[in-house]
Amino acid sequence: MPRSAASTRTAAAQRFLLRSLGDGINFVGALARNVDIGGKSLYSFVPNTGVFTLIGIYKPNNTNPVNGIMGNTILTTEKGFAFFTDGNRKLQMIGYNGSGNAFSAVSLIGLPVDYLNKTFLFIASSNGGTTITFSVGNFETPMLHDARASAASLSAGDMTNNLTLGRASSTFGPGRAEGLEWHIYNTELSQAEKDTFHLTGQLPSGLVGSKYVIPSGASGATITDSGSFANNGTLTSVAYTSDPMKKLKPRSAAASRAPVS
């Protein structure tokens, strides 16, 4: 007998909570709280084409909601992009072309008021930079999706700085969370594909880009790219954390069903 939507969400919540609540990369340094994965040319497709899907799975652990998911700059004089949660708990995605914004959008959805120490899936995607679609889920409720219009003035050439995970740039959005997983692809996933990933952890085959899952290691350790780019990175000013009790006794899916708003 097919599972109901509620039982499917329960299974998804248990799967993600079992996998993630007891583990994470805790960003601990004063400035360089990030994972440096390089890729000035590899990831230039984001500001250059405006066609992308960025995914971050995080457990925020600080009362300041400003948190860099991934990016390499917040300066209009540089080329690159920034994906982060802002001071109003909303998602922002900004591309930079070296003389201004390549695209820019702020979501109407984001973190709930009681976001601390809960695991969230954040997605930003676009198919040309004129519309940025944000998606948020906390593995205990269905995903929410929000499409925001954006003016596009795309970039050209390589990004100015290396891409980092856990910061929006080298100077903004330090990781105030335990980072669990990051993806960056050169195509826009459909809403159905995002919902499937939220419920099952499965993505379409053949995606071009990078996938990073937390390693067990301290600063200086390698984080492996299991995506097609195979662009391994290095942990910088971070610490691996693990809580076996959280793995053994995950919070039930019925608990804390506060909607993302």
φ, ψ (nearest 5 deg) of residue 245: -65, -35
In the predicted structure, residue 159 carries a pLDDT above the cut 70: yes
Count each helix (H run) and each strand (E run) in the chain, helices first.
Answer: 4, 16
Q: What does each C-alpha distance from 13 to 43, 110, 135, 179 come to in angstroms?
A: 31, 18, 17, 17
Q: What is the pLDDT of residue 65?
A: 87
Residue 261 located in a structural domain: no
Residue 255 located in a structural domain: no
Q: What is the pLDDT of residue 92?
A: 96
Q: What number is the average pLDDT over the span 63-84?
A: 92
Least confident piece of the model among 46-55, 95-104, 127-136, 157-166:
157-166
Residue 258 located in a structural domain: no
Higher pLDDT, 14 or 83: 83
In the predicted structure, residue 2 carries a pLDDT above the cut 70: no
Higher pLDDT, 238 or 157: 157
DSSP 3-state of 80: strand
User: What does the alpha-carbon distance between residue 120 and residue 233 come to, in Å, rounded to a whole number?
Assistant: 23
pLDDT digits (tens, 9 = 90+) for 17-67: 544 444 555 554 444 446 778 889 999 999 999 999 999 988 887 888 888
**In whole angstroms, how large is the CA radius of gyration of the chain?**
17
Residue 141 located in a structural domain: yes
User: Any residues with CB less than 8 A from the CB of 228 and at least 6 apart, and which?
Assistant: 207, 208, 209, 210
DSSP 3-state of 121: strand
Band (pLDDT 50/70/90 cuts) for residue 239 is low
User: What does the alpha-carbon distance between residue 174 and residue 180 come to, in Å, rounded to a whole number?
Assistant: 15
| CA-based nearest residue to 24, from 184, 197, 213, 219 | 213
Residue 11 located in a structural domain: yes
Residue 103 located in a structural domain: yes
pTM of the model: 0.84
Q: What is the pLDDT of residue 79?
A: 97
In the predicted structure, residue 162 carries a pLDDT above the cut 80: yes
- For the chain, the average pLDDT equals 80
Residue 253 located in a structural domain: no
| CA-based nearest residue to 21, from 255, 227, 204, 185 | 255
- How far from the centroid of its chain's Cα atoms is residue 115's Cα? 15
In the predicted structure, residue 259 carries a pLDDT above the cut 60: no
Residue 75 located in a structural domain: yes
| CA-based nearest residue to 83, from 209, 160, 183, 191 | 183
The count of structural domains within the chain is 1
Q: What is the pLDDT of residue 219?
A: 57
Band (pLDDT 50/70/90 cuts) for residue 138 is confident
pLDDT digits (tens, 9 = 90+) for 212-227: 887 655 556 778 899 9
Higher pLDDT, 18 or 200: 200
User: What CATH number is given to the structural domain containing 83?
Assistant: 2.60.120.200
Q: What is the pLDDT of residue 45?
A: 98
Neighbours of 88 (CB within 10 A): 12
Band (pLDDT 50/70/90 cuts) for residue 125 is very high
Range among 3-7, 38-42, 184-188 with highest mean pLDDT value: 184-188
Per the structure, the complete domain to which residue 235 belongs is given by 5-248
Strands (E), 156-227: 163-165, 177-185, 209-213, 222-223
> Measured on CA atoms in the order 157, 160, 162, 168, is the torsion positive or negative?
negative
